[in-house]
Amino acid sequence: MIQPFHLAIPVQNLEKCRTFYREILNCEEGRSTENWVDFNFFGHQLVIHQKDGFNPERISNPVDGHDVPVPHFGVVLSWEDWQNLSERLKKHNTKFIIEPCIRFKGEVGEQATMFFQDPEKNALEFKAFKDMSQLFAK
């Protein structure tokens, strides 16, 4: 069993982000106060903390012909779950940083990937491997 990680991120608009994680990404909401909310983020604990005036500086790194936003976080999903999330995000008119695509096609580590932002511009990446043994392949 993989141990769940815990990640806490700052947001300015707690309610807007709460709606995004709960209704767009289908994350179950846990404990909360007026300043933070816990979510079951695909088996991991994600906490959004309201932080007025927070404005993260974004940088990117070139990877396989794309400018990948740094920092970013996300989850490796099953192939089917990745496809379902991709379709759900498209139905919600999500603006993708990197459209759903296959990266490293025909190479070690071939994967489906997509990048987008939450309402506070926190970058997320969701990926999937048809062959999970490629997750840590060299």
Question: Does this model's pTM top 0.85?
Answer: yes
Q: Long-range contacts made by residues 15-18, C-beta under 8 angstroms, separation at least 24?
A: 16/119, 16/120, 17/48, 17/118, 17/119, 17/120, 18/48
Over its length of 138 residues, how does the chain's per-residue pLDDT go in tens digits? Answer: 789 999 999 999 999 999 999 999 999 999 999 999 999 999 999 999 999 887 777 788 988 888 999 999 999 999 999 999 999 999 999 999 999 999 999 889 899 999 999 999 999 999 999 998 888 888
Instruction: For each of the domains in the chain, give its residue range(s) and CATH number, in order of start.
Output: 6-50 (3.10.180.10), 59-134 (3.10.180.10)
Q: Long-range contacts made by residues 111-115, C-beta under 8 angstroms, separation at least 24?
A: 112/79, 112/82, 112/83, 112/86, 114/82, 114/86, 114/89, 115/66, 115/68, 115/69, 115/72
Two tokens at 13? Answer: 């608009």
Quick one: how far is CA 38 from the chain centroid?
A: 15
